[in-house]
Amino acid sequence: SVIQNFKNNNNHPLRVALRDNDTWRNWTPQAPIRLYFCTNDDQVKYTNSILAYDSLKAKGATIDTANKGNKGHGQCINPSVQDAFLWFLSKKKKYFSVNVQTSPDTGQGSGKAVIVPSNTNKNLDYSWSNGITSSDSIADNLNPGSYTVTVTDPTTSCTRVKDFTIGQSTGLMARSSSDPVLRAYPNPTNNTFTIEINEEGAVDNGDIRLFNTTGKVVKTIQPKNLNYRFTIQSNELSSGVYILEYQTSNGVEHLKLVKN
């Protein structure tokens, strides 16, 4: 009989077709997988999920199972779909975002732009327009005008593009580029940074924050309590680029620090 022939012939055409369609035998998924089943399903046997789980797990897949109870096929669908929807939401990528903080040109091309990323702890790639050669999150010596920065996460190829404008300060309190509010020396250094704040730009309620290139605040300082001159010890920082931000009631000042 047909059934007997199928049982006795390991190379029966139907057996061959079934093996060809058992994709989990020679497949290793790259994304996480969850297999849903009910133990009383008489149409899709739960043992299929167990066999697939064991095979894919052995191949290195990120996989788990969800047993929705002793239900039949029809009763298993709704709880499985509802649970799967929530599971997919939990796997949704949280893409990073970026903000641009700018300082106007106070003369002789002294404008500055600082990129502050959020929702990420990765090192990002920066590409600036208008011939800006900076490869990190801060660009200085900018003339008034419109600019674009493209920020890319190299591990996911996720990209954010931001347009920004550098204005020109014409107020009476404008300083020349040779007289900045923030000054650090030596910079770069592999020892200690000494930070000074120009008294002209200092305000009583101004705080200083030190960011790494992922946008994380690694240090907060109240310069008023330190007579506007303080040090940052080298053993407090890993090698890399940092952004010193002076937040005052009159605006925001930035300074790039490089720890060798």
**pLDDT tens-digit series, residues 9-32:** 989 999 888 877 776 667 788 888
Residues 186 and 231 sit within 8 Å (Cβ to Cβ): no
Q: Quote the pLDDT of residue 199.
A: 61
User: Where residue 178 falls among pLDDT bands split at 50, 70, 90?
Assistant: very low
Choose the weakest-confidence range: 9-18, 30-39, 41-50, 168-177: 168-177
Q: Quote the pLDDT of residue 189.
A: 84
User: Where residue 239 falls among pLDDT bands split at 50, 70, 90?
Assistant: confident
Q: Quote the pLDDT of residue 91.
A: 73
Q: Quote the pLDDT of residue 176.
A: 40
Phi-psi region of 130 (alpha: psi -120 to 50; beta: other; left: phi over 0): left
**pLDDT tens-digit series, residues 94-113:** 667 888 888 887 777 888 88
Q: Quote the pLDDT of residue 159.
A: 87
Tell me the CATH class for 180-260: mainly beta
**The CATH number of domain 95-177, selected from 3.40.190.10, 3.90.76.10, 2.60.40.1080, 3.90.550.10:** 2.60.40.1080
**pLDDT tens-digit series, residues 115-138:** 888 777 778 899 999 989 888 888
Averaged confidence pLDDT in the chain? 82
**Omega cis (within 30) before 104:** no
Assess whether pLDDT exceeds 80 at residue 165: yes
Q: How far apart are CA 71 and CA 36, in angstroms?
A: 12
Please compute the mean of the pLDDT values over residues 83-90 and round it to a whole number. 86
Q: How far apart are CA 201 and CA 203, in angstroms?
A: 7
Please compute the mean of the pLDDT values over residues 58-82 and round it to a whole number. 92
pTM of the model: 0.41
- 178-185: long-range contacts at Cβ-Cβ below 8 A with a sequence spacing of 24 or more? 180/110, 180/253, 180/255, 181/246, 181/253, 182/244, 182/246, 182/253, 182/254, 182/255, 183/255, 184/244, 184/255, 184/257
Q: Quote the pLDDT of residue 172.
A: 38
**pLDDT tens-digit series, residues 198-214:** 666 555 566 788 888 77
What is the percentage of the chain residues whose pLDDT exceeds 70? 85
Give Cβ neighbours of residue 26 (< 8 Å, ≥ 6 apart).
none
The dihedral sign for the CA sequence 62, 68, 70, 75: negative
Assess whether pLDDT exceeds 70 at residue 169: no
Assess whether pLDDT exceeds 90 at residue 167: no
